Amino acid sequence: MNDPEPEHMYERIAAAVRDQILARTLEPGERLPTQEELCETFGASRIVVRRALDLLEAEGLINRVQGGRATVRLYDPLIRRASLHYRSDPGAPFAEEAIATERVPRYTHETKPDRAGLETAHRLKIGVGDEVMRTDYVSYADDEPMMTVASFEPLAITQGTPIEKPEEGPLMGAGIIDRFTSIGLRPTTVVERLHSRMPRPSEAEKLNLRPGIPVVVIVRIAYREDRPLETADILLAAHQYKLEYVTKVDPLPAE
């Protein structure tokens, strides 16, 4: 059998180094071999080795500085279990996710009235320009930004109620299930649609992303029957997260 094509050599090099990082043979903070040493070890050119390092950096496994040697980056992604976010009395799911990796969680938020843009209006089945309450969140683990959320709720539903401002009042910080339940509109369905893309400049700045790292976008819509109650754009740094979805399988019908 022939060896893999030369253009795939950088993937083989990256895989070998990745295995050492994930097995903690190379510890967080430890310096990688020099490019010259990697060239000699793998019989590859500097260009190929550089591409392998580019790949490992994009995956969030190493840090590189101009003129210095690459070092191993702590790789311990948070696991987002979607079902835990949409239960009654959800606690603090992000905090639990961060604490599970022995990191200290915190988040910031800003709430303000806004007008629905085209996409938001389409999701909420309201008119473009209708009033919504917008809340922007940034979640951190050990002061490293991990996730941003932009949430929109129609003021036609929430205005004048105790949940008009999500981070104020008796239900401050509660999940969307309990908040809307408190005004007689318990959600019946929450839909999440996922896609990935490269971040916009402002998003890369908020999440402190290095060039080449994509984001995972989760578009959320909460419904009561067929009436949308809330929608959100959730952005995750792709190298910081693993997403877990559990689907229960119906038992076989009784014979």
Q: Is the dihedral of CA 178, 221, 132, 152 positive or negative?
A: positive
**What are the Cα distances from residue 19, in Å, to 13, 55, 56, 152?**
10, 14, 11, 42
Q: Which of 158, 144, 65, 80 is nearest to 113 (CA)?
A: 158
Q: How confident is the model at residue 88 (pLDDT cuts 50, 70, 90)?
A: confident
Ranges for all domains in the chain classified under CATH 3.40.1410.10: 78-244
Residues sharing a CB contact under 8 Å with residue 128, sequence separation 6 or more, in sequence order: 116, 117, 118, 121
Per-residue model confidence as pLDDT tens digits over 154-202 = 999 999 999 999 999 888 888 899 999 999 999 999 999 999 999 999 9
Model confidence pLDDT, tens digit, residues 69-83: 888 877 778 999 988
Candidates 45, 69, 46; CA nearest to 57 is 69
**Is the predicted pLDDT of residue 234 greater than 90, yes or no?**
yes
pLDDT at position 1 over 50: no
Tokens of 118: 């085209």
Q: What percent of the chain has pLDDT over 70?
A: 97
Instruction: Note the pLDDT of residue 193.
Output: 96
Model confidence at 24: pLDDT above 50: yes
> Residue 195 phi/psi, 5° resolution?
-155, 165
SS3 track for 53-117:
HHHHHHCCCEECCCCCCCEECCCCCEEEEHHHHHCCCCCCHHHHHHHCCCCCEEEEEEEEEEECC
In whole numbers, what is the pLDDT of the chain averaged over residues? 90
With vertex at residue 206, the alpha carbon angle to CA 130 and CA 204, rounded to the nearest 5 degrees, is 100
Q: What is the pLDDT of residue 59?
A: 79
Residues 15-21: contacts with CB under 8 Å, at least 24 apart:
16/42, 17/52, 17/56, 17/61, 18/56, 18/59, 18/61, 21/56, 21/61, 21/62, 21/72, 21/75
For the domain covering 6-72, report its CATH number: 1.10.10.10
User: What values do phi and psi take at 205, rounded to 5?
Assistant: -70, -45
> For 95-131, what is each residue's pLDDT tens digit?
999 999 889 999 999 999 999 999 999 999 999 999 9
pLDDT of 240 > 90? The answer is: no
**Domain 78-244 belongs in CATH node 3.40.50.1100:** no
| Residue ranges of the chain that CATH labels 1.10.10.10 | 6-72
